[in-house]
Amino acid sequence: MKLRIKGDSLRLRLTQGEVRELDTGGTVEDQVRFGGGAALVYRLRRDAGASALSASFSEGAVDIRVPDQSARDWARSDQVTLAASQAVAPDAQLRIVVEKDFACLAPREGEDESDNFANPTGKTC
C-alpha cells in the first residue's frame, strides 16, 4: 500500500492483494520505519459504524476508515476510487482518496508491480 501526503490530502493506492485483504480481513496496514523504534503507521479499515470515508491521526498512526459496505462494493467491482473530504477546521478540508494501484506506463527502478491492477490503457512498462 502506498501513502501519498500532500498538503491537506491523503491518498492510498492498493495492490490487488491488498484490496482482497481489505475485503476479506477488514484491515490493510503498513509502516515507514525511521530507526530508533520510531515509525509512521498507516492503515485502512472497513468499519460497519462509519457513515463516510474518514481519517484520524493518533499515536503515530494514520487511520483511514471506510464504511463496510462501500469497501466491499469497491473491492468486488471495477470501481477505481473512493474519495471524500472531511472538515478539519472551519476553513479547511482534508481530502481522502483510496485507489486501486495500476501498473506503470514507464519503468521505475526498484518497484515491484507484479500485484498491481492491469493498466486500463492496456499498455505496460
Residues 78-104 have pLDDT tens digits of: 998 999 999 999 999 999 999 987 667
Task: Write down the pLDDT at residue 103.
Answer: 67
What pLDDT score does 107 carry? 59
Q: Comparing C-alpha atoms, which of 97, 99, 103, 104 is closest to residue 117?
A: 103
Say if CB 11 and CB 99 are below 8 A apart. Answer: yes
| Residue 6, pLDDT score | 96
- Cβ 3 vs Cβ 42: under 8 Å: yes
Domains of the chain, residue spans: 2-100
Select from 3.30.1360, 2.60.40, 3.40.50, 2.60.120 the CATH code of 2-100.
3.30.1360
Question: pLDDT at position 9, please?
Answer: 97
Counting as low any pLDDT under 50, the low residues of the chain are none
Per-position b or e across 4-13, b if 16+ CB within 10 A of its CB = eeeeeebbbb
pTM of the full predicted structure? 0.83
